[in-house]
Chain A
């Protein structure tokens, strides 16, 4: 039956493997952008001292974080569906980093949920540690994993660590911008300070990272970094970052948020540019070499892409429902 519907020996379109590479990277980008600001909220939460402010931050985080986190699973399972050998090698080679990441995500997710279950100061403090610790550790480990993936370096090497730190910094930028767009002016202007510092750290970190990779030619990525497209992406990031700090200073928080969100998106684009056409440099696996057979890929395309569009549509609905300012009571009516 399916034979007549789906081609068995040829991809639906000749470039379907490349389209899937782009789709996997898109899911990764969605994750870094969306859960990134969740991590930022978690880290900035540590700077709040009053219960009212803390609850405001938690209220902003509450309705959306779980849906954001699903992009990680979407990324992982799409990678598995299209490029199983890359999925298995990547995780097998980074066992401890990957397990560390899931623990960080576990504490980050449980902290806020458990906090509200009990009215006890010590209990709330433990939950806060879990929330803040998990929110800081998760992007660090995820970034280190990505650095090892792209540059074929050791865990405790400069490129891996810098990628980790970069992801932490960019999460703080988007977290600060997201919260600023939803908070009252006093809090927003404080967040502006953190956001600006984090932006400068992020831009500096990225330049240092790329310089160190070019210097050592880690993972053979030097050439790709010097390519016009990659240079353009870096230039665009710098422009967006600086524009963001200006917008923040002017109090144009929604515009700041828009420019802040482009930073992690551009970072994902950069990762894709550095990888392609290989998918996992240390194994030499390429997009074409690791992709599943035509029938399998055609199937996940036909069944999966319409669903992905539907998902994007109800994400829009979710963010529409929970738009506008927030306070400790949550999103008002």
Chain B
């Protein structure tokens, strides 16, 4: 699975400003609701928040991968968000979270959903890549960096 199958350039939010978990999830859900008329902003946010209840998806190193399953979705959809200031997302290492990759999956594609999760988490392993994402000028450059990094595997 390629990240380009999940993420398109218009799904990148280069400057998030939310200061709470729910604000951040809403900011991540926004481009999905804009790009897909059949999806409702509040429902997407609720699906992501539901998974956060189980335990934070902020896996440390400034990365979080909020995700969830949603009826009415036909394929796996992703959004990427960058928070320059960092936000308290109850991460495993207790540090602020800067980079967010949210995933919304159809209800019946458990296996693909898991593959996407693994793929995304591996994408962010490299610390120099994370630094470059933080330094990127705009959404276009961020998207280019993600596509290039993904192509390495």
A and B from one complex: no
